[in-house]
Chain A
Amino acid sequence: MAITSLGRGPRMEAAPHHPKRRFSLWHLVLAPVALLFVIPFAQMLLASLSPAEELVKFPPPFVPSRLTFDGFVALFTQTDAVRWLLNSTIVSVISIASHVVLCSLAGYGFARLQFKGRNVGFFAIVATIMIPTQLLMIPTYIMFSKLGLVNTLAAAFVPWLASAFGIFLMRQFFLSIPAEVEEAAALDGANRLQIFLRVVLPLAKPAMTTLAIFTLLSSWNDLIWPLIAINDDNWFTVQLGIANFQGTRRTQWELLMAGNVVATAPLVLFFLFAQKQFVQTMTMSGLKG
């Protein structure tokens, strides 16, 4: 429902700069608020670079006396963090590839092809948006264990291979492409798959980017599926790995925060490079809501 009411993200580009602009009083509001949002990240980074003994000193200093990589060294030598990062990367890459391919195909099918059962099929897909994850946890766990997926990486990526949101998004996009584009190719004797691959798909890059970001955020940050289906730490994703530290490394703050930095940094960097596309994705998806 988010998608129909909100076609696009807010415009992010600033209008041309006026040299003699008055100082806006909004700075007095925005600067402290922005600072408040940055402080948790800053603390995380600072703690990850602090000497261990200063993090458990009472009262703790606001700024460490020196910076050290001890936290990261501990993280990479005492735990399987490298392995978990690799696992998460594999999970996200498979999820994104599958999600973009399958949802583009299905979105195009529902938007442009005539076939028996199309409307019923599409309705069934849309109806699944209403079903909450919690309802699916238990039977999915049983299903995974019957299929031998428990304690494998597949348990983490199978839930993200395709989604109703993805199909919906791609269908909306394909409906917006003028049919003339395809008709010209059809007259030249191209078949459906050729039209789709050579003519339609190159136009769909913005929608596919949105979908890829959605899948990246969902699969990389997912906790509940790996949590229920993976308890062998060889197959932990990085999120499950750091979540598990809490039981075992309670006040090793430098290690905990290094783990946090490592688990968060890839997405933060992606965000900084492609903020416009991320904001677009957030507007379209109601993710994390």
Chain B
Amino acid sequence: MATLTETPKALRTREPGGPRGSAREMPAGARKRRGLNNLTGWAFVAPAMVIILGLSIFPAVWAFILSLQKWNGFAPPKLVGGANYGKLLSDEEFWAAVSHTGLYVLLFVPASVLAGLFLAVALNRNIALIGLYRTAIFVPFVASAAATGILSTYLFSPQYGLANNVLRSLGLPAQGWLEDPSQAMLVIAIMSLWGQAAFTTVIYLAALQDVPNDLLEAARIDGANRWQTFWRIVWPELSPVTVFVTIWQVIGALQLFDLVYTTTRGGPLDATKTIVYYLWEKAFKALDFGGGSAAAYVLFAVTLLITIGMVLYARSRKLEAF
């Protein structure tokens, strides 16, 4: 994050007086110029800032206040302190949602990181048709969650879907897929992977092309074979990227909602009801704005803790990702 705090040196030299000089010591002309500078600066940044802060920090604070209230949007809100959080933590449905989300994270994140690494290694070579392979693997990335979800219900339809059709023609038993509580989350993870493998792949591809050539050359001269070169040289070089994509994918996976909404709507038997689906139902179906906001804050806190935990773990292993 070093780049965030660096000040551009570019135009600083033309500033009248030091940036921290007090206005009283300045001649009137310079003071006026500085007032104009302030005005110009804010004119450039204010429109975007108003929108972004108005749609993030302001509602984030409001959500916290809501989480301390009992409110259905109609009757006057009532302050209830931590009661929403207490109720949430003693709600079995919430814990079920936590475990469904956890299952998805475990299915999806390792698969997406490993698939990205594998595909990047496979695609990082100059062979015939490589452009075609890349296009085929990348293009599902632009499919929306709605389209992916509807497509999943078709491909994995027990009666009419391709998945069971293939199984049947191989003489294997047909599966329930999205209609089977023990398989539904797996199907969702597979289809997420279809749509998102491109993301981890392009990140690893960029990183692979940054591995210094002389390192690879040195390994080759020392007699290392390709397998050894990969695990001893390339893989350690990639570790900051691995930390980054893992954290990024965990954060995304904890927020799973769209694909659940467009495939199973939380079913069958609530088996795919994730934390965000739970909070969406609470807020917009049951109109429990307080409970929904409390669930959102718990999710935020958990996401933050997991992120910090992973960053600290990476630091302790001396993997500098941030």
Binding site for A on B (CB under 8 A): 1-4, 7-12, 15, 19, 37-45, 47-49, 51-53, 55-60, 62-63, 66, 73, 119, 122-147, 149-151, 153-155, 159-162, 165, 168, 191, 194-199, 202-203, 205-209, 240-241, 244, 248-249, 251-252, 255, 257-258, 261-262, 276, 279-280, 283-284, 289, 292-293, 296-297, 299-300, 303-304, 321-322
Contact = CB atoms under 8 A, between A and B. Distances in A.
* Chain A interface extent, by class: 35 or more
Contacts of B207: 6
B302 to A, nearest CB: 11
9 contacts: A11-B209, A40-B194, A114-B12, A125-B52, A126-B4, A134-B257, A183-B11, A264-B142, A271-B138
Nearest to A262: B147
A167 B196 contact: no
Contact of A132 (B126, B142, B303): B303
A162 B51 contact: yes
A64 B146 CA distance: 25
Contacts, number: 346
A113 B41 contact: yes
A40 B140 contact: yes
Given A6-B203, A115-B37, A128 B11 contact: no
Interface string A7-27: 011111011000001001011
Given A243-B146, A253-B154, A282-B198, A172 B3 contact: yes
Nearest to B174: A59
B55 A159 contact: yes
Nearest to A30: B133
Interface stretch (A75-83, A202-210, A215-223): A215-223
Given A106-B48, A158-B55, 4 more contacts: A31-B133, A114-B19, A139-B60, A179-B9
A267 interface: yes
A228 to B, nearest CB: 6
A9 B138 CA distance: 13
Contacts of B161: 60
